A and B are shown apart, each in its own frame.
Chain A
């Protein structure tokens, strides 16, 4: 019966759908009533939302005076201020550079989701190339263009910069910490465990604040560097401590016999790690790693508190003038949509991978 339905055409698929609906939505009169009520309410709310966002909305920046009487969203604020939100205080006529730089980062993230790139060397190359392209384009001095320093980077571009820098720096740090925690040497193991547990039990904001405010007191001036780099290193350390636990989970999935087999074959510890263990660890840890990357992207928004002009800060600036002040909901909706689309699609992809791998394991 179940096999037959797979081969009979689309009419039977409708039958399947009707059956599911009957079982899950219209089983009894009270069930039907609940379904009709809930779906009616949801449809109504969806209609209200679409009407607000599309049909009754004002779109062009020049039409801002119609916004007050129009019942819908006033997207004029986005039309007028989207460059501020996306690129912050980056020089206006150089915005093509930051556009290309943002595309480079997004492309890096999308490409690293493709199974074709799932080997250590390819992923490392991909991220270094993507991040390098970003920095080259944004800074510009090496391309023979006018130089733009990091203090003028802002908006979504700055958010993407911090995110990719944190992942790129944090991933090897996480791997090192995970290896150190597995070490046979008690001092190495103890130090790594202490660091990981300490950082993990503090809020991210404390780590970032310490990097921004406390580290300048502890380091000699020549070692201090820019505040942005200190915060990135602090954030990367935070990421690494969580990622180390993800790697540890991956290590635990490898049977002990494989290490012993490697040693029996006369391989060195480094060869066992790089040729036998790590490829499997990466595969096991992949869904959780994607989850960590998504969470990191979400948490990047916190840097506004440390005083960076990220996408949230530039959103606040976008409705900061008298003219645009009433349209704060539209600005937050715009920024929220950017975050939501990125986070939702990546986390759905992580879920899909998790499902696919659990099938493969069976």
Chain B
């Protein structure tokens, strides 16, 4: 047999193999769907997304917007999605900041700083996240009640009811407006070409604090002050902002765990910066702070960014652990909806869709940052 004949035979064999695979997968999917249909018929369940308009009839722990037990499933799921995004974003910001600080300390020449960072990383990275979460939750529910709450300067209280913080004395709508203004301000500042990234960040932080205070004083009710402080009244607190212990425990656990991982990523990135560059910086008489800001971090960010993006995605996924302590994240809402409504397949589909959406958007953000960081002409 000549080579051409052998080649056609192989081609044909490969084609048959692939067709078989596709047919087998299609058969399995079809069998699964028909089994599901007969089983659902036995249970008298109607499939489809009609249940989304029904009222849920059950309560849950946390929401950013008004909620009641008469809410429809679609609104409740939306609240769960918002909670996951909210918690995830807070944890991403906090653990990135903390991770950079600890990673820098881990890379430091100073032996003491180095030792502290090493202990921190080894402690929090080598324990399961869920163990840390239930531990912090247990510590928080064993806190004293509101009467004996720990306080910091009579403005911040910690008790088994949660953490009470001073808040701006404005309506939620105004808060949303202020938030939108800050985002717009951020975009405006980041368009300025002549400034460096970290200067832009600093300028934005200072400007946004100023803007927030001005707007808050404009919209605060006439006869009361701009801030609302938590005040203990009997068994509860009035005024201020109450952060539930579930949310505190989630933020604490995910931030500690995530920052330990990010610190290792940052240390790796800083370690990759050629020592010749830092020495050149020293020879030019730059302070160690300038070397960090203008030599090490800009160089290291290019190695740090891809694994950092993975850590951000991990943090978003880690919010699903909220179900262990009763924080109403998306997974909690979906699993409760499944036990209450029985629409398993539809709800699991929605859950997966939401997570694919979150991951895809985060990946796009990371790609965007990577593209901005890439060296020109490379």
Q: Once the chains are docked, how many angstroms separate the CA of A29 from the CA of B273?
A: 29
**How many residues of B sit at the interface, in one of the four size bands?**
35 or more
Interface residue total, chain A, C-beta cutoff 8 A: 50
- Residues from chain A with a CB closer than 8 A to the CB of B352 are 202, 206
Say whether B321 faces chain A, with CB atoms less than 8 Å apart.
yes
Q: Is the CB of B40 within 8 A of A339?
A: no
Binds B, one of A104-112, A274-282, A297-305: A297-305
Say whether A352 faces chain B, with CB atoms less than 8 Å apart.
no
- Residues from chain B with a CB closer than 8 A to the CB of A301 are 128, 130-131
As a 0/1 sequence over residues 208 to 252 of chain A, the CB contacts with chain B under 8 angstroms (1 = contact) are 011001100111100000000000000000000000000000000
Q: How far is the CB of A195 from chain B (nearest CB, A)?
A: 10
As a 0/1 sequence over residues 305 to 318 of chain A, the CB contacts with chain B under 8 angstroms (1 = contact) are 10000001000100
Smallest CB gap from B21: residue in A: A187
Q: How far is the CB of A236 from chain B (nearest CB, A)?
A: 18
Say whether A322 faces chain B, with CB atoms less than 8 Å apart.
no
Q: Is the CB of B18 within 8 A of A24?
A: no
Q: Once the chains are docked, how many angstroms separate the CA of A37 from the CA of B40?
A: 67
As a 0/1 sequence over residues 286 to 319 of chain B, the CB contacts with chain A under 8 angstroms (1 = contact) are 0000000000000000000000000001000110
Q: Is the CB of A205 within 8 A of B126?
A: no
Say whether B193 faces chain A, with CB atoms less than 8 Å apart.
no
Q: Is the CB of B321 within 8 A of A302?
A: yes
Say whether A258 faces chain B, with CB atoms less than 8 Å apart.
no
Q: Once the chains are docked, how many angstroms separate the CA of A185 from the CA of B14?
A: 7
With A35-B112, A304-B130, A304-B324 in contact, do A217 and B138 touch (Cβ < 8 Å)? no
Q: Is the CB of B32 within 8 A of A312?
A: no
As a 0/1 sequence over residues 174 to 190 of chain A, the CB contacts with chain B under 8 angstroms (1 = contact) are 00000000001111100
Smallest CB gap from B313: residue in A: A201
Q: Once the chains are docked, how many angstroms separate the CA of A186 from the CA of B25?
A: 15
Smallest CB gap from A20: residue in B: B111
Q: Is the CB of B35 within 8 A of A218?
A: yes
Q: Is the CB of A201 within 8 A of B138?
A: no
Complex partner residue of A217 from B40, B114, B122, B355, CB under 8 angstroms: B40
Q: Is the CB of B323 within 8 A of A214?
A: no
Complex partner residue of A201 from B21, B110, B355, CB under 8 angstroms: B355
- Residues from chain B with a CB closer than 8 A to the CB of A339 are 126-128, 131
Q: Once the chains are docked, how many angstroms separate the CA of A42 from the CA of B117?
A: 12
Q: Is the CB of A205 within 8 A of B320?
A: yes
A-B contact sample (17 more), CB < 8 A, given A31-B110, A191-B25, A203-B320: A34-B113, A38-B116, A185-B14, A187-B21, A201-B359, A206-B352, A209-B335, A213-B338, A217-B39, A298-B128, A301-B130, A302-B130, A304-B324, A328-B142, A332-B135, A335-B131, A340-B126
- In the A-B complex, the 5 residue pairs with the smallest Cβ-Cβ separation, listed nearest first, are A38-B112, A301-B128, A203-B317, A187-B18, A218-B32
Give me 10 A-to-B residue pairs in the complex whose CB atoms sit less than 8 angstroms apart, sorted by A's number: A23-B109, A39-B115, A188-B17, A205-B331, A206-B352, A210-B348, A217-B344, A312-B134, A336-B127, A336-B135
